[in-house]
Chain A
């Protein structure tokens, strides 16, 4: 865990508090500047105002769900290029298909990924060590 990594901004949109907390804690511990949103609407506000380097997005969220937020992002000049990781428990093919169609960098099933591996994957995508 490099404390010297330049402060990359990541946004975590996750409605479940316990999952959100542990993710935030892990990424902060890994040296990221972490923004958090408890639903899609909040997520979009933060995303468009902060312009994070990467977004970790849950699908099933109140107000605005992850895939809607993703499609809004992809309509935006900035948003179209921001790396997005879907981190969800929805293993239905239809979600995966929609997400891939909109353009995501990774589609992760929560229970299949360890935190450490998620952090590693984010680092790889952002090209930081």
Chain B
């Protein structure tokens, strides 16, 4: 609760003052009335005291002799009257002292003795006439003196002031008791009302002023008291306020009371708080410093990354999960003829068109970047063309890699480069291969066919020596043919343009086929062949042509490098546990020298021991085998000991080879 800017202290004070003044007035009014009564009561008590004293001084017995007006002049009467007169003189303000007596009829009162003479009845010098005066023995009207009957047993006084034509008065009474204990008469005392009223007024003024000053003083005292109370409280409040802004501030109260205790407790608490806060501040400062250093580091990293991205030769475009461009590096802008700064926020497909070789536009859903966002897989392609902003089309090698954060795809990064030159070289290479293929093979075919004609005797019967020479020519031609074939395959492997076209095939069937091709050579060398093919082999997806080339080379080598009457073992097996299919070719041949075993799969390598033995070979076979196996998801290993033999094992997963698009099939 808050009322403007009036402080709590002031509010309390105002409230208390209002309360005090109001209640003071209320109590004052009641007290005033009560006071009036009390002042009157004092007069009554005085009256009763005077009456009692007078009664005590009165000879009750002598009263009995005063019966009529005649008795007024008796000594007895005068004696009584003189006593009364003395008492009258002694008591200030007393107007009259008199005695009344009841007759036998208790309701009738008669006047007995009075202090007033006929001449001076009221003591004020006023002449009272004979008729007006109540005479001794005369009936006395007590109807206006209600308390008089009480006085039969004890002193009493009227409450109300009585008035007659001479003035106003208040009466008090006391009983006159005889020696038998009977009330013989009533002594009455009148006090002038003027005196009473003056007295009352004096008393009221005195007490009233005292009261009013009390009322007025109380709030001031209260205010002072409150100040004593409130000052420390406000000190505490002030202290708390300044503490909230300045932790080092303390409350200074030296009242020596609970306030001081509160203040010192607070100060201790504040000290603790300040200390722990400072500790915290220190920690925060350290953390902030570390954080700042980290931020700087990150920013540096960012600058480095940006510099890195800007300077890489590849174009790079980062898109968000919806395909909207977030960032494009300078190279990308350069390649595409776009302003890098304007790319951000634009959808990739709106900015960059992509076409295939034939010039068909690729739809959004077929673009590598969307496929990568959709599948979460990295997409690699070299068969697309980007269209520059001026319409120029160029082939790109592009990779679209999804960016994942906690398994959620948040975007994709496309890296691409212009492969116009590569394509050109590719075409040139391809042309060379065609050339080699065509131009080398054409004369080879010519040699082959003309030799065949000669050997068939189409040009007449040949002599034995001619026939022998011609056969040598054919033999060389065959080698040449093989060499060309291997060179072609190697170049295709190296260009990465060969196709892998997996179809379900049986490794043992192909092995059987290949062994069939080499039947004559096996026979010629009288080599013992051991085949181990399990009865039920699963068909696995593989490119039969590639498998054939691998097996052909391994068998051909085994035959070539095994002396006559040696042994060749061929085995195909499946390991379900490792999920592998293996083809093993072992021979009891010359083996490969330990020192050279590490070079066995390198191009054009030929082992020293083999060269000495002058066995044919190009040094391309195992290189080709290794390349094919490596490129199609398989593995090859070998073990060999010189003059004991060699073992080659080719392994493929049961899932087979992965499909690969390209332009050339190996032969």
Query: Taking beta carbons and an 8 Å cutoff, which residues of A are in contact with B?
Result: 16, 18-19, 22-23, 25-26, 29, 60, 89-94, 96, 109-112, 114-116
**Which chain B residues lie closer than 8 Å to A111 at the CB level?**
441, 444-445, 448, 481, 484
**Other 16 A-B pairs with CB < 8 A, given A19-B445, A110-B442:** A22-B446, A23-B449, A26-B449, A60-B438, A89-B441, A90-B434, A92-B437, A92-B663, A92-B664, A93-B665, A96-B665, A110-B441, A111-B445, A112-B481, A114-B449, A114-B452
Q: Is B667 an interface residue (CB 8 A)?
A: yes
Please tell me if the beta carbons of B499 and A93 are within 8 angstroms of each other in the complex. Answer: yes
Q: Is B488 an interface residue (CB 8 A)?
A: yes
A-B residue pairs, 7 tightest by C-beta: A93-B665, A89-B441, A110-B445, A91-B667, A22-B449, A89-B438, A18-B446
Bound-state CA distance A8–B642 (Å) is 59
**Which chain A residues lie closer than 8 Å to B664 at the CB level?**
92-94
Q: Is B308 an interface residue (CB 8 A)?
A: no
**Which chain A residues lie closer than 8 Å to B499 at the CB level?**
93
Nearest B-chain residue to A29, judged by Cβ: B458
Q: Count the B residues whose beta carbon is within 8 Å of the partner chain — how many?
A: 24
Please tell me if the beta carbons of B450 and A22 are within 8 angstroms of each other in the complex. Answer: yes
Query: Taking beta carbons and an 8 Å cutoff, which residues of B are in contact with A?
Result: 433-434, 437-438, 441-442, 444-446, 448-450, 452-453, 456, 458, 481, 484, 488, 499, 663-665, 667
Bound-state CA distance A60–B456 (Å) is 29
**Which chain B residues lie closer than 8 Å to A19 at the CB level?**
442, 445-446, 449
**Which chain B residues lie closer than 8 Å to A96 at the CB level?**
665
**Which chain A residues lie closer than 8 Å to B433 at the CB level?**
92
Chosen A-B contacts, 11 in total, with CB atoms closer than 8 Å, are A26-B449, A29-B458, A91-B665, A92-B434, A93-B499, A96-B665, A109-B441, A111-B484, A115-B452, A116-B452, A116-B456
**Which chain B residues lie closer than 8 Å to A114 at the CB level?**
448-449, 452
**Which chain A residues lie closer than 8 Å to B458 at the CB level?**
25-26, 29
**Which chain A residues lie closer than 8 Å to B437 at the CB level?**
89-92
**Which chain A residues lie closer than 8 Å to B449 at the CB level?**
19, 22-23, 26, 114-115
Bound-state CA distance A19–B438 (Å) is 13
Q: How far is the CB of B580 from chain A (nearest CB, A)?
A: 29
Q: How far is the CB of B456 from chain A (nearest CB, A)?
A: 7
Nearest B-chain residue to A117, judged by Cβ: B452
Bound-state CA distance A22–B447 (Å) is 10
**Which chain A residues lie closer than 8 Å to B484 at the CB level?**
111
Q: How far is the CB of B358 from chain A (nearest CB, A)?
A: 15
**Which chain B residues lie closer than 8 Å to A29 at the CB level?**
458
**Which chain A residues lie closer than 8 Å to B456 at the CB level?**
116
Bound-state CA distance A18–B451 (Å) is 13
Please tell me if the beta carbons of B441 and A16 are within 8 angstroms of each other in the complex. Answer: no
Q: How far is the CB of A108 from chain B (nearest CB, A)?
A: 10
Q: How far is the CB of B486 from chain A (nearest CB, A)?
A: 12
Q: How far is the CB of B237 from chain A (nearest CB, A)?
A: 96
Q: How far is the CB of B459 from chain A (nearest CB, A)?
A: 10
Q: How far is the CB of B517 from chain A (nearest CB, A)?
A: 12
Q: How far is the CB of A106 from chain B (nearest CB, A)?
A: 16
Question: Given known contacts A16-B442, A110-B445, A111-B444, is B488 in contact with A91 (CB within 8 Å)?
Answer: yes
Q: How far is the CB of A54 from chain B (nearest CB, A)?
A: 19
Q: How far is the CB of A49 from chain B (nearest CB, A)?
A: 28
Q: How far is the CB of B190 from chain A (nearest CB, A)?
A: 159
Bound-state CA distance A8–B639 (Å) is 58
Q: How far is the CB of B199 from chain A (nearest CB, A)?
A: 147
Bound-state CA distance A89–B449 (Å) is 14
**Which chain A residues lie closer than 8 Å to B442 at the CB level?**
16, 19, 89, 110
A115 contact from B441, B453, B665, Cβ within 8 A: B453
**Which chain B residues lie closer than 8 Å to A60 at the CB level?**
438
Q: How far is the CB of B618 from chain A (nearest CB, A)?
A: 16
Bound-state CA distance A23–B442 (Å) is 13
Nearest B-chain residue to A94, judged by Cβ: B663
Bound-state CA distance A66–B481 (Å) is 23
Nearest A-chain residue to B438, judged by Cβ: A89
Bound-state CA distance A19–B453 (Å) is 12
**Which chain A residues lie closer than 8 Å to B663 at the CB level?**
92-94
